[in-house]
Amino acid sequence: MNAFDSEIARLRSTVSALEQLIEVLEATALHESARRDATLAELSTQYEREHHIAETLQRSLLPDHIPSPAGTTIATRYFPGASGTRVGGDWYDVVPLPHGRMAVVLGDVVGHGLRAAATMGQLRAALRAYAVIDSDPVAVLKRVEHLLDVAGDVIEGYVATLFYAVVDPVALEMHYISAGHPAPVLLSASGEARLVEGGLTVPLGLGGSPLPTHRTETLEVGSTLLMYTDGLIERRGESLNDGLKRLLGACTSADAESDLDRLCDSVVATMSEAGSSDDDVALLAVRLTGTSISRSWELVASPASAGLARRAVASLLREAGRQDLEDAAELITSELVTNAVRHAGTEVRVDVRIDLNGTARIGVYDGDSTIFDPAGVRSPAAGAEGGRGLVIVAALAQEWGVDLESTGKTVWCTLAASP
């Protein structure tokens, strides 16, 4: 074999070795690719499982049913982030309180995932308890701050924003405070939208700076309070002010008199036109529909009952924000109860109803079925010691009359609210 043939043989051997090496490398690459694909599939499955757990936990910690106290309708919405990865921190709640009031809260734990959802659940439970103990917004936030200080590792390092308010559908007012949360929108019955600002303090969990006094907002029948988390207004490349402007525009363009659920859907749809949010979104909308309140008191046949009834009726009128009727109502109640005790000598029941327009109806029932004609009531003769009670009632009341019942009668009157 000459030198040329030897070189050819050597080159062939080298090529064969390279081909074998290539086969080994290809097999190794295929194996590595398969291993990497399997790892990615496993991570994806794990991620989907963790996300599903977080979302399930999040939804399970939100209330199944939101009550609508008398004089209100309430609607809620919750949407996970567009990519499905931003689950965990948003919540809302409504807590019925005495005298027809209610505490409403909407908050957002900074962060996402299982720990954020768990923290949200603890804060929601704590707020419900604190609202029942003392509904004052400042007192509630102080207690929550204390919880964050002493809870230790369970919720260590987490920060939360929230808007907390006590709404009184009868007095038509709201007392509120905001811990670093976006300002809610107040939509009037005529469709005008504005932000509810003020009462602002730092987010919870940042050390508990001195809290301001709560703010008070006067409401109107037909108005709607829309509370939301920042996922509704935040978009990449857009300032929060731009997001707030879009939200006010969405509320203004919506039909303010439409069903509250349709109103929420309309606002969400309009806000989504600017792009999907990476963050989750929670909404809580409260509409004041107006309410009447009524109370009854059973009293014994005693001269002292007139004073008890007078004070009870005055207290109810103050609770309803109808102090303008208080003086006339006290005098009328005292006269009617005194007449019932003196002439019927039976137990007395005082019934009071305050209607949506502010008109008060006062009725005093006794067990005497003797009826009389209101039109026949005349002023007593000069120097007479009695007989002026019904004359006073007729002079002060918008209307008055007597209803005969099977076991007695009710003398009633109405007092009109001041214009």
Asked whether the whole model's pTM tops 0.75, one would answer: no
Q: Distances from the Cα of 28 to the Cαs of 16, 18, 40, 208, 276, in angstroms?
A: 18, 15, 18, 59, 43
Distance CA 154, CA 129 (A): 19
What ranges do the domains of the chain cover?
53-288, 293-415
Distance CA 415, CA 362 (A): 8
The label of the residue with tokens 């303010």 reads: 256
What is the sign, positive or negative, of the torsion defined by CA atoms of 237, 241, 242, 243? Answer: positive
Residue 238 burial (C-beta neighbours within 10 Å; 0-12, 13-18, 19+): middle
Residue type, 207: G
Which SS3 state, helix, strand or coil, does residue 161 take? Answer: strand
Average pLDDT over residues 140-149: 84
pLDDT band at 382 (very low <50, low <70, confident <90, very high): very low
Q: DSSP E strands: which ranges in 231-370?
A: 281-288, 293-299, 348-354, 360-366
Query: Domain 293-415, what architecture?
Result: 2-Layer Sandwich (3.30)
Distance CA 395, CA 350 (A): 20
Q: Is the pLDDT of residue 115 over 90?
A: no
Q: Is the pLDDT of residue 121 over 50?
A: yes
Q: Distances from the Cα of 244 to the Cαs of 64, 205, 248, 249, 320, in angstroms?
A: 29, 25, 6, 9, 34
Contact 280, 117 (CB under 8 A): no
Average pLDDT over residues 164-177: 90
Query: CATH code for 53-288?
Result: 3.60.40.10
Q: Is the pLDDT of residue 383 over 50?
A: no
pLDDT band at 223 (very low <50, low <70, confident <90, very high): very high
- Residues sharing a CB contact under 8 Å with residue 225, sequence separation 6 or more, in sequence order: 104, 165, 167, 174, 184, 185, 186, 187, 196, 219, 285, 286, 287
Q: Is the pLDDT of residue 280 over 90?
A: no
Would 53-288 and 293-415 be classified into the same CATH topology?
no
